Amino acid sequence: MGCAVRSLPLKPGDVVLLDYTLSLKDDGRVVETTSEEVAREAGIYSEDAKYGPRLVVLGSGDLPPGLEEALKEMKEGEEKEVVLPPEKAFGKRDPGKVRVLPARELSARGIVPRAGMEVEVRGERGIILSVGSGRVIIDFNHPLAGKEVVYKVKLVKVLQSPEEKVRGFLEKWLGRLEEAEVKVEDGEVILELPFRLLHSRELVHALEAFASDIERHVEEVTRVRLISTVFERRVEEEEASSAQAAAP
Amino acid sequence: MGCAVRSLPLKPGDVVLLDYTLSLKDDGRVVETTSEEVAREAGIYSEDAKYGPRLVVLGSGDLPPGLEEALKEMKEGEEKEVVLPPEKAFGKRDPGKVRVLPARELSARGIVPRAGMEVEVRGERGIILSVGSGRVIIDFNHPLAGKEVVYKVKLVKVLQSPEEKVRGFLEKWLGRLEEAEVKVEDGEVILELPFRLLHSRELVHALEAFASDIERHVEEVTRVRLISTVFERRVEEEEASSAQAAAP
């Protein structure tokens, strides 16, 4: 009665909040999780990580294909455990992605290569397998390539209204910024922030990333505007107290 | 008829635009000028300098006392030449401001002291007079202290309305920024800027300096707000052309 009923299945472009824990089928080792508790138990807790439901746009390539398939038929609040073979998860291992590079390519950037080290070379992330005379062998396969994995996933929420989506993306990029106020009106997002935050270059970049997500994933929104008060004159004390006195 | 007539004399807090050329009484050497032409003729032109009338708040200490006195009785458009003794210009020379410092105080900051070099030490600007064994002698007097100077000054304009003043301070801090739009309404300044400019830390600082000048010198303004469009969806071509077709 009066409630919008979402029609299954979910489709590309839908914006959802997920809780999940990713582990290896082999030994059960937890690799990634949105739950702070699970992270602590598994010994992979990090202070820098953000825990809590993660915002994902279906069909955007954020999730492995097997997980997307499983999600499509899920309802809000539902939990599922899915086991994915490598080809539906992070791909098979490709021996061609193990490459030999001159060591100076790393040393030129001040990196002293060691086996096991994770590096970024020519825009690709890889793990150093071994260091020889003037050469390093790097595996550019995804660290989980070739692995069978288990996702324990909960579809926390399907974001429906433009406003819900805007708030979701805002939290994704700016966190739970208590000083930010956001309004969505007539297809316009108005974001009000304290001016001093604009001194942070990271925040300016985060705002652009936020706007870019809105542009791509919330078609109802035609404009994102920032409003910031650079200066506001303090009300004179007399005025303030006389205003108080006048109040009933 | 209908024109606001400004009452003489000017008073502290008045905001004015000045053209001036400052030269030494002694030898006529031009030290500073707001005129690009004069700067070129005098051989002191700099590409980094901003030429054109300068905005000054009377009584704020921006100008030597003798020049302020002269200005007080001037009318808009009037020109005057005033000769000022040191005590009405940049002060008498104070021998106590010539100080001996350990050279390491400069070398610690990567400065190799040489006679004639201008340096800033402990927040004061000075000129190195001589460099000895482990010591430097620095003159912290104003470079024009003790000099008789000549100001050729023109009172270009007295800024009257809050809007004129706001535009004046905006140009002082942000230059002739063609992409900036400024409105003054009901005591509120609304400044609209392209979002990409906010990537510049210098601009963010300049906005704060602008707001601080407004706070101190334009009492009619109670608030300065910044508005910036982070993202705007391009109108689809069909819509745009159908809108054109619909136009009379």
Q: Which domain holds residue B174?
A: 162-227
Report yes or no: B183 at the A interface, CB cutoff 8 Å.
no
Domain membership of residue B219 (yes or no) is: yes
Per-residue pLDDT, A6:
56
pLDDT per residue, tens digit, chain A (248 aa), is: 445 555 578 989 999 999 999 999 999 999 999 999 999 999 999 998 889 999 999 999 889 999 999 999 899 999 999 999 999 999 999 999 999 999 888 888 888 889 999 998 888 899 999 998 889 999 999 999 999 999 999 999 999 999 999 999 999 998 877 888 999 999 999 999 999 999 998 999 999 999 999 999 999 999 999 999 999 988 665 555 555 555 44
Residues B33 and B105 in one domain: no
Give the residues across from B198 on adjacent strands.
Answer: none
Say if residue A153 is in the same domain as residue A61.
yes
Coil, strand or helix: which one is A241? helix
User: First vs last Cα of chain A: how many Å apart?
Assistant: 43
Residue at B6 is within a domain: no
B228 shares contact with chain A (CB less than 8 Å): yes
Residues B66 and B132 in one domain: no
Domain co-membership, B67 together with B151: yes
Contact between B151 and B70 under an 8 Å Cβ cutoff? The reply is yes
Query: Do B64 and B22 reside in the same domain of the chain?
Result: yes
Cβ distance B204 to A199 less than 8 Å, yes or no, reads yes
Query: Does A206 fall in a domain?
Result: yes
Q: Is the link from the previous residue into A86 a cis peptide, with omega within 30 of 0?
A: no
* Residue A151 shares a structural domain with residue A51: yes
Are B120 and B180 in the same domain? Answer: no
Judge whether A41 lies within some domain: yes
Q: What per-residue confidence (pLDDT) applies to B4?
A: 52
Tell me if B10 is assigned to some domain: no
Same domain for A78 and A114?
Answer: no
Question: What residue of B is the nearest CA neighbor of A204?
Answer: B199
**pLDDT tens figures, B57-81:** 999 988 999 999 999 989 999 999 9
Asked if B198's CB is within 8 angstroms of A198's CB, the reply is: yes
Confirm whether B1 is domain-assigned: no
Contact (Cβ atoms closer than 8 angstroms) between residue B18 and residue B54 = yes
Do B66 and B55 form a contact (C-beta atoms < 8 A)? no
Q: Chain A within 8 Å of B220 (Cβ-Cβ)?
A: no
Q: Structural domain tally of chain A?
A: 3
Q: Are residues A217 and A166 in the same domain?
A: yes
Judgement on whether residues B43 and B112 belong to the same structural domain of the protein? no
Assigned token pair, A101: 């590079």
B23 located within any domain: yes
Q: Residue B208: which of A210, A226, A230 has the nearest Cβ?
A: A230
The enclosing domain of A119 has a CATH number of 2.40.10.330
**Which of A198, A201, A225 lies closest to B229 in CB terms?**
A225
Domain of B31, CATH number, reads 3.10.50.40
Residue B6 has pLDDT above 80, yes or no: no
List the CATH number of the domain containing A173: 3.30.70.2210
* Same domain membership, residue B45 and residue B103: no
Residues of B in contact with A228 (CB under 8 A): 225-226, 228
In three-state secondary structure terms, B95 is helix
Would residue B99 count as lying in a domain?
Answer: yes
The rounded distance, in Å, linking the Cα atoms of A16 and A10 is: 10
Does B30 share its domain with B118? no
